Chains A and B, each alone.
Chain A
Amino acid sequence: MLESTLKKISILSAAAKYDVSCSSSGSKRSTPSSGVGNGALSGICHSFTEDGRCISLLKILFSNACKYDCAYCINRKSNDIERATFNIQELTDLVMGLYKRNYIEGLFLSSAVFNNPDYTMEYLVRVAKDLREKYRFGGYIHLKAIPGASALLIHQAGLYADRCSVNIEVPSSKSLAYLAPDKNFKAIFQPMNYLAERKLEYSAGKPSKYTPHFLPAGQTTQMIIGASGESDLDILKLSSSLYQKQKLKRVYFSGYIPLNNDKRLPAITVAPPLVRENRLYQADWLMRFYQFSYDEILDDSNPHLDLQIDPKMGWALRHPEVFPLDINTADYEMILRIPGIGVRSAKLIVSGRRHSRITLAHLRKLGVALNRAKYFIYDPDLPRSLQLVYPEQIKMNLIAAPKKNQNQISFLPSLVS
């Protein structure tokens, strides 16, 4: 068993790693009686790979023998790569063994589509069902909902899993038809809408003891950035509507890594757009935790995020009329909008200012990034006229400011003086 399992792990996890979702949060399932494992509400990271991403779940494909031929995907039919498929017993034993040794928080199971979507989905559901019922497993299960699978199977997935996801991959239906001729937007949104509706239905009213724990950690999705021509505005608009209508918990962005030589895609030598991906995540955070709406971050006149400064700073520089803000009197929502002040600091400020005035010295001790925040905070020791916000000036200062931990040490100043 050992040799073949090792090989399968290596092939099927290498094929699954491009799925960025790794979180194990949002579910607080308690340990089943005579079972093992529970859900930790905040999620737990069990290790980190050298690319800096966390490993929380055993992220693996059930099979990589795909019948589709999507341009961006490493598992597409026309690629000549090694193919492998688990059997259910083998996979569940692996999950339980790793879980009992505290290597993982649970299972993230996806699969290439083999035979047909229903056939594939049935395998995924059976793995989850075995884990829950045969092994009394209470840990985290994240299942992929395969587009095109029947509603019955999608429903069962929702009953056994903590979280489901359907990947949009390409953020517009036109590009999707171009890059992935076997897929369409309708088939992708169908399971997503179905799950969102059922979750809403089960959470209505007071739960009885027969109400199932349907997808306690909700749904997520993923979009590839930089493989097709969508602007950041399109991407944020789409994710904003996914948060509102489909009630998604997260939208993940994955900077396109050229894996296939395909004339429909950027050349294979292009580096992944990591900065753009980072800026998109920052914008996503603004929408989820900072009460920004997508049209405050971007609009038709500037549809792309500035790669040099973060989107919150971008908003502040476009709205100099709001600043400087007095942190001792401003609303919590407005304090959140000061660049360099995060949710945690904003809460501390609001609860601390009831007892004493909060000064700049306080802020430094609280952990506020004063190098960014200082331009936007009202300082009672300076006259108002000296505190006007000049966006061009601030932007120049920020971009020119030397970064910490620069590897290169300059000897020039000492030579000159």
Chain B
Amino acid sequence: MTRFFSLIGRGLLQHRAMMYLLVGFALFPLYTGFADLPFWNDVAIRIMLLGMAAMGLNLVLGYGGMVSFGHAAFFGIGAYCVGISSYYDIFNGWIHIGFSLVTCGLMGVIIGLLSLRTSGIYFIMITLAFAQMLFFGFVSLETFGGDDGMSIDRAEFGLIDLYEPLRLYFLVWAALVIVSLLLMFIVHSRFGVTLRAIKSNESRVEAMGLTPLKFKITAYVISAMICGLAGTLFASWQEYVSPDIMHWTRSGELMIIIILGGLGTLAGPLLGAIAFLLLEEFLPELIQAIAPDYAENWMIVFGPILIAIVMFGRGGLLGLLIKLFQRKGAS
């Protein structure tokens, strides 16, 4: 147990950026309260949840070097766990979360075991194909709304009434803090070090007598469960779930968020989520100001921005910040 806390403590020191972000999110409602901008609380919730999913994906993508292009599926399964439970009149949020963690864990084991037999381009394509399989599965499940999806009530968390203002905000925040601490612990543990070693040279790790597949599948399952948790909370916030939540473009979005913020860093995905959602919020307005007829077509600018980020944006926003402040170990 002391080891656990010393790891977390060291992690907190090493990840100042992460700590600033978490404190920032805790204080943000104060600002929106004074400035009377309740809409921005919702934006912040979306940022935290997409950031959380991206943090989960980052464990396999950034630390493990496995390019999974199907993590939206786990986000969607998490969301559908709320929908399906509500359909059978189970409204307890703790049960939703438990259900989602177990289902995503199991699906993570199945999909992970099948996909991790391959690597490189095959792995990318296969994870994408599995996500599509689940997507089409939910599209044709008429019981749960099919294509149109189903509207749901926010979950009940005992004494916490999620319909009261800010209750959901701080529930999401608490989940984000727990996930951040967990990832901090994982990244600095022996497991995390081995995972990064596998990324840089798998056969060498194997030669040392370890079984890379075991580490990879564990990381895959953990990341699936984190994505599932984010999806569960997302569905409760949105009060609606449809197959669109696991559309393959969302897998792309999560990857963009990671690249934008900084691959293989703890705070990167959260920073990327802030940048991504602000871009999504302000780009249409910007285009509205320049060419009012084309505000709806903001994607035509967003696509090239994305290509530019890939071509020129090495290290992401976090890398940029570190360069700006030049403070050692601020990742």
Instruction: Decide whether A and B assemble into one complex.
Output: no
Binding site for B on A (CB under 8 A): none
Residues of B whose CB lies within 8 Å of any CB of A are none
